């Protein structure tokens, strides 16, 4: 396939990706995979562009075209979603969860979480425990 030929749309991408060149679409998929697998890492968009050998402008534009959001917004939402899952399914501390989703500061994590979800991580966990069935004790 030549550089000027366009790539077909993978099922997980928006229809806009049909207009990307094959190399850009593959690059964006690789960046996406990296972000999802490294939610705990602090990486800049410039570092991603350098790692995947694409200009920063092209990376930003192609990523937004495919996923409908800027990279940082998409990453923040993935982090919140993963943090919410950890809050619901584990007894990890807020600090441990913050670190697992790329935040060194639990207060910065809590502020970001509240901005995205409208409640704090503690409130989110409390909602979960309030919804769990009560354990019955055997006398």
pLDDT tens column, 37-83 = 999 999 999 999 999 999 999 999 999 999 999 999 999 999 999 99
**Sequence-separated (6 or more) residues with CB below 8 Å from residue 124:** 84, 87, 88, 113, 117
Which residue ranges make up each domain of the chain? 15-68, 75-131
pLDDT band per the 50, 70, 90 thresholds, residue 5: very low
Whether the predicted pLDDT of 11 surpasses 60: no
pLDDT tens column, 85-136 = 999 999 999 999 999 999 999 999 999 999 999 999 999 999 877 765 554 4
Phi, psi of 70, rounded to the nearest 5 degrees: -65, 155
* pTM of this structure: 0.76
Q: How confident is the model at residue 37, as a pLDDT?
A: 96
Q: How confident is the model at residue 23, as a pLDDT?
A: 84
Q: How confident is the model at residue 49, as a pLDDT?
A: 96
For 53, the token pair is: 């050998």
Residue pair 3/54 in contact (Cβ under 8 Å)? The answer is: no
Q: Of 3.40.50.300, 3.20.20.70, 1.10.10.60, 2.160.10.10, which CATH number belongs to 75-131?
A: 1.10.10.60
| Euclidean distance between CA atoms 79 and 44, whole angstroms | 15
Q: Which residue has the tokens 């190399």?
A: 23
Q: Which residue has the tokens 């909602």?
A: 127
Q: How confident is the model at residue 7, as a pLDDT?
A: 34
pLDDT, average across residues 10-36: 75
Phi, psi of 20, rounded to the nearest 5 degrees: -90, 150
């Amino acid at each position: 396939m030549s550089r000027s030929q366009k790539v077909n749309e993978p099922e997980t991408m928006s229809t806009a990706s049909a207009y990307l060149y094959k190399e850009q679409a593959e690059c964006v998929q690789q960046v996406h995979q990296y972000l999802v697998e490294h939610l705990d890492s602090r990486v800049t968009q410039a570092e991603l562009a350098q790692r995947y050998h694409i200009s920063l402008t092209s990376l930003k534009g192609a990523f937004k075209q495919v996923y409908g959001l800027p990279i940082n917004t998409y990453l923040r939402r993935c982090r919140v979603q993963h943090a919410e899952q950890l809050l619901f399914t584990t007894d990890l501390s807020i600090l441990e969860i913050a670190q697992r989703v790329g935040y060194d500061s639990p207060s910065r994590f809590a502020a970001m979480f509240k901005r995205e979800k409208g409640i704090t991580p503690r409130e989110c966990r409390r909602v979960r425990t309030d919804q769990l069935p009560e354990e019955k004790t055997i006398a």
